Amino acid sequence: MKAWLPSIRIVRLALAAAMLAAACTATTIERRGPGGRACIGRADDPLGEQTCGRFIDLARRQLDMTQPGHVAIHGIEVYLDPSFYDPGGHGVFVVARLDDGTAVTYRMSCEVISPEVGCPAQLRTPPKAASAPIGSP
């Protein structure tokens, strides 16, 4: 009995679908599109130094509160949430990378109250547990 082999047309269609899916889910690290990195420590950060600091501080407090005695934090990154749209605020994912190779992700948002107060950070969903070891970004 002959083994079934897909036709060239099916293979091309599958390849085109995979490429389209990859293009739709791709994000940029240099914060150029939805899902891109939002806080990279430069004066031109899209969220601004104060807002980035609020997200990072809230992530540190949450991690200390939910996992007392956790291993040291290797780094914290803030990414724009592509599913969040509010012209008066921001939605982000904050990733706290730990020295043991795990990471904890928090989904946060803020709404601009006034120029004086700015954009106070708040959790949008409960924190997720630490992930399996991951590679560097």
Q: How confident is the model at residue 16 (pLDDT cuts 50, 70, 90)?
A: very low
Cα of first residue to Cα of last residue in the chain, in angstroms, is 48
Q: What is the pLDDT of residue 67?
A: 92
Sign of dihedral through CA atoms 28, 33, 35, 38? Answer: positive
Q: Are 37 and 78 in contact (CB under 8 A)?
A: yes
pLDDT tens digits along 58-83: 999 999 999 999 999 999 999 988 88
CB atoms within 10 A of CB 82: 14
pTM for this model (two decimals): 0.63
